[in-house]
Amino acid sequence: MQNNIIMASETRQNRIARLIQKELGIIFQRESKEYYQGKIITVTVVRVSSDLGIAKVYVSIYPHKGKDEVLHEIQGNTKYLRYQLGQKIRHQIKKIPEINFYLDDSLDYIDRIDELLNK
């Protein structure tokens, strides 16, 4: 019985994570020209805590030049982004989780490996 409870909790976490990923992706797509120097911002992964109170959001920024400044801007706009997210999903979940943004550098890692292999 306890396994069913754990599985239901994980399923809910995953469903909420996918919802947050989708909606934040739409928000970034809409606002990247105006607020984020025209960069393409992709939400690659969202991990939601078991109590659904915190969402770790990993973003990929293209082109890579100036990505740290853009991430800093995103982190500075966290309250605004959380509000925008809340407007989109408030009827689907009770409490909008706190959002923490992180840079997903896996594409840089792949580019570096590709560069080394092609030498």
Residue corresponding to tokens 């409490």: 95
Q: What is the pLDDT of residue 81?
A: 95
Q: Which residues make beta-bridge pairs with 3?
A: none
Q: Exposure pattern of 74-92 as b/e (b: 16+ CB <10 Å)?
A: beebeeebbebbeebbeee
In the chain, how many domains are there? 1
Per-residue pLDDT of the chain (119 residues; tens, 9 = 90+): 555 555 555 788 999 999 999 999 999 998 887 777 778 899 999 999 999 999 999 999 888 788 889 999 999 999 999 999 999 998 988 899 999 999 987 766 667 777 778 87
Task: Please tell me the distance from the alpha carbon of residue 80 to that of residue 19, in angstroms, as a whole number.
Answer: 18
Q: Which domain holds residue 66?
A: 2-117
- CB-based contacts of 1-8 (< 8 A; 24+ apart in sequence): none
Please state whether beta strands 40-48 and 54-62 pair in parallel, antiparallel, or not at all (unpaired).
Answer: antiparallel
Closest CA to 57 of 36, 29, 78: 78
Q: What is the pTM of this model?
A: 0.82
Task: Assign residue 27 the CATH number of its domain.
Answer: 3.30.300.20
